Amino acid sequence: MYRSINDLNPFIDYTEDNILLGRNGELCAGFQLRLSPIFTQDLHYFEEAFHTLITAISSFPPYYRLHKQDFFSFEKIEIPVSDYISEERAKMFSGHSIISQQSFIYLLAIPPYLHDISLLQHSPFSYKSYSKLSESAVQTFKETVFSFESLLCNTFRKHKEQGHFFIKRLDIEDFLNVPSDGCTGVMAKFLYLNNTHYGDITLNKNSFELKIGDDFVDIHSITDLDSLPLTINPIRYYNAYSNEDTRLHMSMMARLGAFLQFPHILNTIIIKGDTEKEKKKLETKSNILSNFGATSRDNRLAGEDIEEFLERQSIEGGDIVDCHFNIITWAKDRNVLFREKIEIENTFKSLNFIPKYETLNKATLFFACLPGNEVNILKEMRFKTTTPIAVSFLNLDDLQENGDNAKLQVCDRFTGRPLNIDISDFPLQHNWIDNLNKFVVGSSGGGKSVSMNYYSMSNYRNGAHIIIIDQGASYEGIC
């Protein structure tokens, strides 16, 4: 069956405040987001970030959804050549591909009757009916979006001053631009897998194989509680770069971010209903299971699990929400896609998760992750939990961004990206240091002189006045 892309477009109109209006009465707003680079923040930063997001979701009215979408793709490095050092730097880096990241957050308000729809009741491919939106619902949504942005800006104000936080409200063009416009909107960016050209989207009705252009698509997801470990620690540290005294912290889902060296998309969707109604539903279900506990051990255990969940929720607080997480990968070669599948499953295993490899619902789930289309994350695709656990599935790490060219040129050892950093004026301005002295320590032959040669030459190129007192002729080559 052939369908136009318009059949999947969830929007029918928009407001002057850049709020998109959905066919079923949904409201959607989006942000481009950049958080602190990986391995640059301490434990307190992550605790504060998670607490802020928990507070934000708790402040949402019922039947709101938050969707964080992280794009990981490769970009080629090109180094402009102006002198000897930049020429040598270009030889080292130009033409190489490095992983890059772009992150977005979407807020969605949906009609209550769409909250618990199932696969049997609804499909993203079915014809969507137009629904009238009340002015009060639109106004409440505007206020919620504003409050959400303000909360993030206030929490990360210090990091914004340091260049480690950025948030920008998406306008209509940011959503709807097509590749031919020269600046791809987030909808086309997702649908065509971050490519700058169109491709047919095909689904094999026999094998359920999804193909976009020349790329085959795979999806691994976390959709039920059986996939989760007994305990979840949202903050981890990277053993390879850490020791007993210094630990480099990262969020739990960072392992599925830039650590995977192939193009992919992470989707985390947190679905808030009415917590009081959810409690009553679970209590009713627990009572029914308990009544049948005498005839079935499974019913008795399931009832006890629900009672324990409700008890912990009442003690620890937090709303009862639904959560869905998935990772989308693609490749032109099925063998490459299979190798990526093995690496993803091993990464999930290292986090003690058991992912579901999507087959029958692959296309349904893919289109449900289209920005603004999150209403199609149906109840079979998500698990019930509390806000603190759901927020743990958000990737809160970003990658290093390049700075001013008139700085010290180094390389990020994690991604291999060439960087321009300021280790003097910038940290002094932000009170990280109180003087500009440098002390270089290392064993014999460890590279002390080589490093200082490079540091001195870099400063000289940027207009600094250099005086060197050299007793061993180590700096003769640059004088």
Tens-digit pLDDT profile for residues 377-396: 998 999 999 999 999 999 99
Element (H or E) spanning 89, and its range? helix 84-93
Which pLDDT score, from 0 to 100, does residue 6 have?
62
Which pLDDT score, from 0 to 100, does residue 200 have?
Answer: 85
Successive 10-residue mean pLDDT values, the chain, 479 residues: 62 86 89 92 92 94 96 86 76 85 95 85 59 81 95 90 88 81 79 82 87 94 91 89 87 94 96 89 81 74 79 81 96 95 96 94 92 90 93 93 70 83 82 87 86 83 83 76
Q: How many CB atoms are closer than 10 A to CB 159?
A: 18
Q: Which two tokens stand for residue 326?
A: 């998935």
**Residue burial 212-241, b: 16+ Cβ < 10 Å; e: rest:** beebbbbbbbbbeeebbeeeeebbbebeee
d(CA 102, CA 399): 9
What is d(CA 137, CA 109) in angstroms, rounded to the nearest whole number?
Answer: 9
The helix-helix angle for 84-93 and 448-461 (nearest 10°) equals 120
Bridge partner list, 328 = 219, 265
Angle made by CA atoms 22, 26, 31, in degrees to the nearest 5: 90
The structure tokens listed for 72 are 């990981």
Percent of the chain with pLDDT over 90: 40
pTM, rounded to two decimals: 0.89
pLDDT for 404: 60
